[in-house]
Structure 1
């Protein structure tokens, strides 16, 4: 791994010396065009200067022998353009607003006259894209703030792209509670979208969805691009989302806001018994301005969100006073069941009654931590809290170091606090962990003008996620009278299941009529961490009618993941002995006991490297051809401990066993076995021969910049997500979960050969379960490849309408 990192850094350094990054260009824009005189002859040697009116920053270019000029890697915002050549009147155009990754064409006609004379034009650049062949939608700051976003979640702006749909939910974001939106763009799956935040990669290492983005008041522009983009775009196969934060200017500016949602302002739903109880306050503000006028600027902002609501109501069934006396006649009879039930006489029941002396002390200790009920069937209603708070802070500095060099730095942190559902006494409310999800994101960038025709853009970014999930104190197994000394501070998980109970005898059959403590697998000691870093460098070089681009990017992703799901201990009662789970629970007859090791941190890692070369060739005054090639070698997922396995059918048929773990099933091999030839800590072979070509064109039929026909095609790859490795770490022998059937309730390991085996230490002679499922991957893994094609037509009407 160290050698790979050295090679990648060397390649980046070489490219930076000779030749903007996908990230760099995604936070800037450019202006290009052709300069002619009134007769239509091209004019070389015209000095073109643009001035960012908010900060006073200037950039100058000179038209070449074909009259073309390009001003690349310009910061976003309002501009004034000036063009001057001796013997001609000066040309001045104001009102130009550059949006993220835009490349407007501004053609200039100079009139004969004195250079001191001016032709002034008040107009924005044409809305039609006649330079780039990709499809994109820009949402400017005004619309970002004014659009009614649910929860003011900026990520939902992706839906304005026209090619986006809700991408489903479930596994991809099952461990994340911060605002992650499942969005499918251009037919891709939800985690095929690359998010760039001020030029830095901003995808979650676990599932490749977006990390939290700042609140609308801090966002300058938001752009979604898709469909066969140029070679500078890579990492993910479906779309590219660019988010640019606001900057300070020469004028002090800011805002303050508060948004309130409260049920007292709403009418009651006709079918609801009362108004909703949601209380949500979202408040904050921003401020920006100069530190040193025309040189150094600052911007900062904060948003807090406090949400409260009455607990949602849930239903469970707990033992009644009659059941605790040994009387199950009502519970098993027609009052509580449509089909009366006779509990098993073999367990001591006579006419659905049993001696109170047979009630388990374990059950009594659990019931003491449950609510009491007067319902004859044991029905209880209880609330689960759903309160949360979120705090976002952002700070940015912009420094115009010289006429040739501009530098910025931005830091963003968000903290989402979700308290546990446990109310401190009722075990039924032990349903969800409390969380404090914190994300840090840093981006630093430099744009350097090497010459009038060569611009270099460099970006470095880092982000980190900290997501601890620690349950509140309820009870330990020893406190409940269970001899389970391994990991004794872990919260117990208890499932009691049986036939469904209906009110007043109306039952529907099924698996209700019981309760859960620990929410199944929800209450576990878990810790997620993700240290990630990325850097990129890009160069734009204008030569004649060509605009060449060279660039490379490197991304390091990591997932430090520790789960206690195996170590919590799960005791299940399901009616195997008495024909009803509640009765099994009260007499202390569990059907299974499951427990396993506490996993140490997984330390999953993956490296990404991509490099490209491309050209935007203005073949004629009306036709631009974009072509390029991207190199994206595939570096396989890695794990610090080498917790991988692979099943080989040929080895299975030959009855070949692992030499690392000889007790493993035939055909199952591990790092260290002679057949494992793709790296001792790697899941597959690396692949270096992955090249993805791109081709596109943009045609201006009339040459007036008011209409364009664009077409493009390209091959894209997707790097995947680190969650795909997490399940493998649950395989034996790394994540051994041992199950005891029909255990003793107070000493579940007593019937296990040799007694309690925990903790299980990895060793050559470790045992394997007789029946188990294993996750395996093809070591010749090839990354997902997508072929994309697009054809589009744009037409501008008037000054502000674009079709």
Structure 2
């Protein structure tokens, strides 16, 4: 009975919370207009008739100010609105061009003139850049930016890092974007208000680019820190995308983007011919009215075809090493034969060479989207949207083989918004999200070979299959009473994960040192057999209430409470072997036990205060906020019992003395070498305390600047440790009959402090400018958050791991601009030019993205035999640090980055004393630009040509230096930052576009 009731406990508590007040809340994928109506004396004016009109669709929303003069109109689609205010004995007022962004609460102080003559007053909306409703750090990216900025790969995720508080530590994919020092697994991705994550991971497992197409995005908001109680489900960034809708006018466009190697610079570190590339990205949009002012449609289709011949680089055995190894260990012949022949010498060693080769890589992606929006009547609006993306890629798997991946991601949402009265609105949505994924490789070896720090890894052909689904139901409303705008809501998310991973056996042979490889003394043989198709299930239930209270015209409070129950993961047929040696007798927990205890006390208070003093004419707002945020990390990490359904073992020189290739003679030791995965049955959800302090100011028309501080402290952060090492001073393990145990829990801590500055100028001026700078420091003892953690070198000394986080990026700067040049008819320059002159000189637009960022930490490690360590656990071992010697070379260059003289090998039976993450990789900076010209054919029909240059100045972007001490080429950078055809860190690349539109 307990197991049947627990999944509903969270929902019951959520409903109880909502019962404490009138049901309320606004969807974070829509917008809200709120404000206070006063007269010229400052007295509040009740019963004012208010109409909010969409300029795109003509849809009207009506409300009245209450007895406190307060009004709120919620669940408004993003776009531009006009507002009118009418009251007896007051002059009518019209406010035009209210730009409402996704998730924005637009505060509109309204002052009516007392008059006996009904003279209408028209004004433009106040600047929309100030946030008087919350203390969040974040920002909005408009569709014009997604469509007009130069994006290398046409992936909207490349724009997320343009938002304050966000960083991109990689090449612009979902798994590399982080917020406020937390993990990529701590982010929430929503599309039109429902789940759009990768389900197993919060991010998609592969770098898909068209989910959704940038051409289908109206805009998106990314909140980094300090957001209010209406958002959550994870402790990190909240990304809300909104798709485009049809309007009262028909619009259509068709386009193609073209890339070719012929126009690109040679990648740094490439030897021989330039890798070939052919990239075609094409698609079309069509939208408009089905019934004027009533029913609208929008459709989008986009496809991508990319063919490359990639440069592949590796470190391989030299001819002399091959001969020496074969002479000593003839059994190694099948392994050595898999390494290609190297051609370029490596300084400081005769045992290895650098090999350069080429391999084919193909990407094929097709996406589609259809949306219907219906204005049912003056109280009800509804919409339905469906999109899907079909992705298939073949790419180099290791030095000689190819890997293949497919992913299909259908997503559907249906929503209804109802205005029950001027004071009460409700918004309900139901959505379905799916990730159907397959992965494999063409490797001929049935095993992987890792020669740590010496040669490139040879992979086996392991793969996985998964069909993951999520169902999301949200119900939100807004209720206005007195000076309060109450908001509340419930979200229930059902997760289904059906997988076989690995779907083919995975076996890894590891040689810790060059001598061991030469002598065929294998340090470990780790085996994981096929996992049967299993079905994990979990139900999440969230609820919240908040009050946005307008204490005065200057002072607003946002006070809320959120409750989050993440449920308990389980297998639909009751399968799974629960391993927890720290809490269960005999290592394995009783059959039928819950995988872990539920976390029922995740109450998240949120508080924000904003102050916009009248003496500064309402042009400056001071904001402060505090909140607690919960998350349960990567969903896949909750299912360790599933992975134990297959044979898993680890052999080493201790439990299988003389272990060597081939391993068949040593398999008799498997019976006592079970190497399961475990996790604590009393696990805790990650809890993040977050605080913000910021000042925003309108420094010019449509131009807002911000200076902010934010910090957080995360406890119960994801941890990954290896248990069952030798009891110190002995050769016995605490848990007999088992080899090592991978134990994934929540025992780490992390914290971040950051200073952030930004400026933004709205595109309505013809010049969009957005710039952000962040100076931050993130520290942890190995766990970043979500599912990212380093295994400690010494399980008994977690404090020894405390250092800068793996993703600690001290300096991060990003900027973007779009400028419609004021040249041609109707503009500042040549405004009265002829049509012929305007055809050539008018309609030009330039845009660009600039990025500069610090290098990430490097953890210098050393490869050691397990027998040389006190606990026999050879994981992330570090060397000794020689005092007084610089860890960097005297003159840092890519071929001489780290100084080997700064390190030395620890004595047998001791751990190294070098701190974790002691060094830094090279930083990165680049400038992407575009120039485009629209040639009008008729008043509405035109053709646009665009040329884009990514990394315009062809800055060399270096990868991470070899950081295994005493390995081949230690401290040498042998590869570029990115080998991908798209994203950040490529050499200079040119792209061309042709578009027709009406």
- The two structures have a TM-score, normalised by structure 1, of 0.75
Q: 3-state DSSP class of the match of 1:615?
A: strand
Question: Cα gap change, 1:526/1:579 in structure 2, threshold over 3 Å: closer, same or farther?
Answer: closer
What is the CA distance between 1:98 and its match in structure 2?
A: 0.9
**Residue equivalent to 1:289:** 288
Contact 2:575 2:642 survives alignment (8 Å):
no
**Residue equivalent to 2:70:** 68
What is the CA distance between 1:42 and its match in structure 2?
A: 2.5
- Structure 2: how far apart are the matches of 1:682 and 1:109? 60
**Residue equivalent to 1:243:** 241
The answer to whether the aligner puts 1:186 opposite 2:192 as a matched pair is: no
State the Cα deviation string for residues 87-136 of structure 1 (Å, max 9, x = none): 33321222122111111222223334578642222345543222223233
Structure 1 stretches of 5 or more lacking a match? 170-177, 319-330, 350-358, 475-490, 500-509, 657-666, 673-679, 754-766
Give the root-mean-square deviation of aligned CA atoms: 4.1
What is the CA distance between 1:429 and its match in structure 2?
A: 3.3
The answer to whether the aligner puts 1:19 opposite 2:23 as a matched pair is: yes
Q: 3-state DSSP class of the match of 2:499?
A: strand
Contact 2:454 2:514 survives alignment (8 Å):
no
Question: Cα gap change, 1:492/1:799 in structure 2, threshold over 3 Å: closer, same or farther?
Answer: same
**Residue equivalent to 1:792:** 694
State the Cα deviation string for residues 156-206 of structure 1 (Å, max 9, x = none): 22211221223569xxxxxxxx95332221122222122221100222222
- Structure 1: how far apart are the matches of 2:377 and 2:445? 63
1:142 to 126, 141, 144: 144
**Residue equivalent to 2:366:** 391
State the Cα deviation string for residues 217-237 of structure 1 (Å, max 9, x = none): 111111111322221122111
**Residue equivalent to 2:979:** none
**Residue equivalent to 1:669:** 588
Contact 2:135 2:625 survives alignment (8 Å):
yes
1:49 to 48, 51, 65: 51
Question: Cα gap change, 1:119/1:728 in structure 2, threshold over 3 Å: closer, same or farther?
Answer: same
1:464 to 409, 414, 434: 434
1:413 to 388, 394, 403: 388
Question: Cα gap change, 1:611/1:165 in structure 2, threshold over 3 Å: closer, same or farther?
Answer: same
- Structure 2: how far apart are the matches of 1:28 and 1:266? 41
What is the CA distance between 1:264 and its match in structure 2?
A: 1.5
Question: Cα gap change, 1:700/1:302 in structure 2, threshold over 3 Å: closer, same or farther?
Answer: same
**Residue equivalent to 1:764:** none
Question: Cα gap change, 1:784/1:293 in structure 2, threshold over 3 Å: closer, same or farther?
Answer: same
Contact 1:126 1:705 survives alignment (8 Å):
no
2:564 to 632, 641, 649: 632
Bigger drift between 194-203 and 261-270 goes to 261-270
- Structure 1: how far apart are the matches of 2:451 and 2:37? 82
Question: Cα gap change, 1:81/1:374 in structure 2, threshold over 3 Å: closer, same or farther?
Answer: closer
What is the CA distance between 1:270 and its match in structure 2?
A: 9.4
Q: 3-state DSSP class of the match of 1:152?
A: coil
**Residue equivalent to 2:546:** 614
What is the CA distance between 1:789 and its match in structure 2?
A: 0.7
Contact 1:30 1:71 survives alignment (8 Å):
yes
Q: 3-state DSSP class of the match of 1:647?
A: coil
The answer to whether the aligner puts 1:77 opposite 2:10 as a matched pair is: no
- Structure 2: how far apart are the matches of 1:794 and 1:776? 48
State the Cα deviation string for residues 587-640 of structure 1 (Å, max 9, x = none): xx9999886642112323332111111111111121111111112234233233
The answer to whether the aligner puts 1:429 opposite 2:331 as a matched pair is: no
The answer to whether the aligner puts 1:711 opposite 2:715 as a matched pair is: no
Structure 2 stretches of 5 or more lacking a match? 345-350, 706-998
1:196 to 180, 184, 190: 190
What is the CA distance between 1:574 and its match in structure 2?
A: 11
Question: Cα gap change, 1:308/1:639 in structure 2, threshold over 3 Å: closer, same or farther?
Answer: same
Question: Cα gap change, 1:397/1:650 in structure 2, threshold over 3 Å: closer, same or farther?
Answer: closer
- Structure 2: how far apart are the matches of 1:416 and 1:597? 28
- Structure 2: how far apart are the matches of 1:609 and 1:798? 44
What is the CA distance between 1:137 and its match in structure 2?
A: 0.7
**Residue equivalent to 2:259:** 261
What is the CA distance between 1:317 and its match in structure 2?
A: 7.5
State the Cα deviation string for residues 467-494 of structure 1 (Å, max 9, x = none): 112445x8xxxxxxxxxxxxxxxx6525
Whose radius of gyration is greater, 1 or 2?
Answer: 1
Question: Cα gap change, 1:270/1:229 in structure 2, threshold over 3 Å: closer, same or farther?
Answer: closer
Q: How does 1:132-531 map to 2 (within 5 A)?
A: 132-167=134-169, 179-209=173-203, 213-266=211-264, 274-314=273-313, 336-337=319-320, 341=324, 382-419=357-394, 421=396, 429-430=400-401, 432-471=402-441, 492-494=445-447, 511-512=454-455, 519-521=458-460, 523-531=461-469
What is the CA distance between 1:405 and its match in structure 2?
A: 0.9
What is the CA distance between 1:3 and its match in structure 2?
A: 4.1
State the Cα deviation string for residues 651-695 of structure 1 (Å, max 9, x = none): 7xxxx5xxxxxxxxxx312332xxxxxxx3632111222211111
- Structure 2: how far apart are the matches of 1:263 and 1:3? 60
Question: Cα gap change, 1:191/1:270 in structure 2, threshold over 3 Å: closer, same or farther?
Answer: closer
Q: 3-state DSSP class of the match of 1:787?
A: strand
Contact 2:99 2:128 survives alignment (8 Å):
no
Question: Cα gap change, 1:6/1:276 in structure 2, threshold over 3 Å: closer, same or farther?
Answer: same
Question: Cα gap change, 1:594/1:542 in structure 2, threshold over 3 Å: closer, same or farther?
Answer: closer
State the Cα deviation string for residues 463-519 of structure 1 (Å, max 9, x = none): 1111112445x8xxxxxxxxxxxxxxxx652567899xxxxxxxxxx854xx98xx4
**Residue equivalent to 2:963:** none
2:612 to 692, 700, 704: 700
State the Cα deviation string for residues 386-418 of structure 1 (Å, max 9, x = none): 221222211111111121111111112112211
**Residue equivalent to 2:633:** 720
2:580 to 634, 639, 647: 647
Q: 3-state DSSP class of the match of 1:231?
A: coil
- The two structures have a TM-score, normalised by structure 2, of 0.62
Bigger drift between 37-46 and 715-724 goes to 37-46
Bigger drift between 772-781 and 93-102 goes to 772-781
- Structure 2: how far apart are the matches of 1:498 and 1:134? 48
1:561 to 469, 494, 499: 499
**Residue equivalent to 2:486:** 548
What is the CA distance between 1:2 and its match in structure 2?
A: 5.4
What is the CA distance between 1:275 and its match in structure 2?
A: 4.5
Contact 1:443 1:462 survives alignment (8 Å):
yes
Q: 3-state DSSP class of the match of 2:105?
A: coil
- Structure 2: how far apart are the matches of 1:338 and 1:5? 60
- Structure 2: how far apart are the matches of 1:639 and 1:167? 35
Q: How does 1:65-144 map to 2 (within 5 A)?
A: 65-113=67-115, 117-123=119-125, 125-144=127-146
Contact 2:648 2:675 survives alignment (8 Å):
no
The answer to whether the aligner puts 1:778 opposite 2:676 as a matched pair is: no
Contact 2:11 2:541 survives alignment (8 Å):
no
- Structure 1: how far apart are the matches of 2:373 and 2:251? 15
Question: Cα gap change, 1:86/1:150 in structure 2, threshold over 3 Å: closer, same or farther?
Answer: same
Q: 3-state DSSP class of the match of 2:565?
A: coil
State the Cα deviation string for residues 685-714 of structure 1 (Å, max 9, x = none): 112222111111111111743221111111
